[in-house]
Amino acid sequence: MTFSQIACVADTTEKAQKAFKELSKRYNFVSLSKPKATKSKARRGANPVDAIVVLGGDGFMLETLHKYMSRDIPIYGMNCGTVGFLLNSYSPHNLLERINEARISRLHPLRMFARTQSGKQQELLAFNEVSLFRQSRQAARIRVTVDHVVRVQEMVADGIMVATPAGSTAYNFSAGGPILPFSANLICLTPISPFRPRRWRGALLPHNSSITFEILEPKKRPVSAVADFTEIRDVVSVAITENTKTTLSLLFDPEHALEERMVKEQFMY
């Protein structure tokens, strides 16, 4: 596939806006507005955008993934933030050549289905992680079930998370979870500041595992659930599975391929 119709979005930070102005002078970016409906079958479902250039940090990249995931457009990020794990290095030169030579990494998000104390049910997607957090001074009490088998009858902790390989280098790693190679077909189950069981430090599970968290004493020890950056408070149960119906394509320079980054991250000290 040749990428020629390129759109560009930028964070509101000074660095990202400066980069956007610089690139806009060099390249003719196309609009991200959806194509108008037409009776022509040949045009039906057509998308005039071949790729989206994202200027910002990992947070803005994550927001962009959520915003445009239904469009099925490959995304090429350039770091105008801090860490930039999901982005390439910024340069205004040879942008089209870089995009066309980039390697594609395909992501499937996690699907979170949460039910609250009021009976409300909500479904969200997460590309990095789904996290549960205590809402009060008291530790949360959570039962952990994997593929319909109770694995932890009662966990007492600040919370727990399920992280994808793409998210394993972020909060998961800070909480003591492992970094997963992108091709490992695994997900991380990582407790957050666990008190009991004292010796349990999490698990590595097949990517297609079904995980359920049941909140014990939800009124006395309320818990919130967060899918990437969207929070649902006062949950009583959270079910998590991989959503294979949604696929996102990220473009990386050959020397900064996502698989290599995940290996390299494990040797940083």
Residue 1, domain member (yes or no):
no
Kindly state whether residues 90 and 160 are assigned to the same domain. no
pLDDT of residue 46: 55
pLDDT of residue 34: 65
Helices in 10-162 by DSSP H: which ranges? 14-26, 58-68, 95-101
**Which tops the pLDDT comparison, 41 or 22?**
22
pLDDT confidence band for 169 (50 / 70 / 90): confident
Active-site residue, selected from the candidate residues 11, 58, 234, 253: 58
The Cα-based distances of 90 to 6, 18, 60, 76, 169 in angstroms read: 16, 12, 15, 11, 21
Kindly state whether residues 67 and 116 are assigned to the same domain. no
pLDDT of residue 33: 81
Q: Is 58 a catalytic residue?
A: yes
Kindly state whether residues 117 and 96 are assigned to the same domain. no
pTM, whole model, 2 decimals?
0.85
Return the structure tokens found at 228: 């990437």
Residue 178, domain member (yes or no):
yes
Kindly state whether residues 90 and 124 are assigned to the same domain. no
Backbone angles phi, psi at 101, to 5 degrees: -100, 0
Residue 166, domain member (yes or no):
yes
CATH number of 225's domain: 2.60.200.30
Contact present, 55 and 20 (Cβ < 8 Å): yes
SS3 112: strand
pLDDT confidence band for 121 (50 / 70 / 90): very high
State the average pLDDT for the chain.
Answer: 91
Kindly state whether residues 167 and 261 are assigned to the same domain. no
Range of the domain at 162: 110-242
Kindly state whether residues 29 and 126 are assigned to the same domain. no
Kindly state whether residues 72 and 178 are assigned to the same domain. no
pLDDT of residue 42: 42
Residue 203, domain member (yes or no):
yes
**Which tops the pLDDT comparison, 169 or 150?**
150
CB-CB neighbours of 154 under 10 Å: 13
Kindly state whether residues 120 and 237 are assigned to the same domain. yes
CATH number of 33's domain: 3.40.50.10330
Nearest to 193 by CA among 174, 170, 214: 174
Nearest to 110 by CA among 136, 92, 130: 130
In the chain, the number of structural domains is: 2
Per-residue pLDDT of 50-109, as tens digits, reads 999 999 999 999 999 999 999 989 999 999 988 778 899 999 999 999 999 999 989 899
Residues 180-192 have a mean pLDDT of 91
pLDDT of residue 181: 84
Kindly state whether residues 118 and 54 are assigned to the same domain. no
